């Protein structure tokens, strides 16, 4: 009996397996890369990114004798107030997108006024307010003679760490020691 050699498949990262499927879906919508979708909040301000989503880029048909690719139209899906915000910021959005791509990929923004799909990202937890003693403790940890921006960043971090812990007057669980 001759045994067939057993093929062994090594483990691969999930991104290697899913990446091509996502890229195909993005290309069908006119996006050259997936980064415009994943970096949307970085391209536009975060408040606008919550209300609006890039739907697709519509590229114009190539004309015979045209030198290069003409800029496309970005279709953005948003609700009513978001449509107004995008209309006012359209020139800045086009400029940021072209800077993001590194070439004049988008020439204009068109708004589709429909509610965007719900955002499934986890929301940040609301921190509890700090007591005066805790504020004093945070202020005592930071040196005043250093860089003021660094000092403020360390204070913010200290406040967030203390606010994430249960407060001094919070009821303790009997099993928590």
- Averages of pLDDT over runs of 10 residues in the chain (177 residues) are 63 65 62 70 85 84 73 88 89 90 87 76 74 87 80 86 72 49
Give the per-residue pLDDT at 33.
58
Q: What is the pLDDT of residue 24?
A: 65
pLDDT of residue 177: 41
Phi-psi region of 108 (alpha: psi -120 to 50; beta: other; left: phi over 0): beta
Cβ within 8 Å of residue 135, ≥6 positions away: 159
Residue 168 DSSP class = T
Alpha-carbon distance 103 to 95, whole Å? 10
pLDDT for res 95: 93
Q: What is the DSSP letter of 77?
A: E
Other beta carbons less than 10 A from residue 76's beta carbon: 25
**So what's the pLDDT on residue 176?**
44
Chain-centre distance for alpha carbon 146: 33
Span between the terminal Cα atoms of the chain, in Å:
65
Task: Mention every residue, 6+ apart, whose C-beta is less than 8 A from residue 79.
Answer: 51, 113, 114, 115, 116
User: How many Cα neighbours within 13 Å face the side chain of 174?
Assistant: 0
Instruction: Judge if pTM exceeds 0.75.
Output: no
């Amino acid at each position: 009996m001759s045994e067939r050699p057993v093929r062994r498949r090594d483990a691969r990262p999930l991104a290697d397996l899913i990446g091509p499927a996502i890229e195909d879906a993005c290309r069908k919508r006119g996006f050259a890369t997936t980064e415009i979708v994943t970096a949307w909040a970085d391209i536009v301000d975060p408040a606008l990114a919550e209300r609006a989503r890039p739907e697709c880029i519509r590229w114009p048909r190539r004309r015979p004798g045209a030198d290069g690719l003409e800029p496309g139209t970005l279709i953005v899906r948003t609700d009513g107030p978001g449509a107004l915000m995008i209309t006012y910021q359209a020139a800045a959005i086009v400029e940021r997108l072209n800077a993001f791509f590194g070439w004049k990929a988008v020439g204009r923004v068109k708004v589709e006024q429909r509610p965007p799909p719900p955002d499934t990202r986890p929301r940040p937890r609301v921190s509890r307010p700090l007591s005066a003693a805790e504020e004093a403790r945070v202020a005592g940890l930071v040196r005043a003679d250093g860089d003021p921006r660094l000092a403020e960043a360390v204070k913010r971090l200290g406040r967030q760490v203390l606010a994430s812990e249960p407060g001094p007057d919070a009821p303790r669980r009997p099993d928590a020691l």
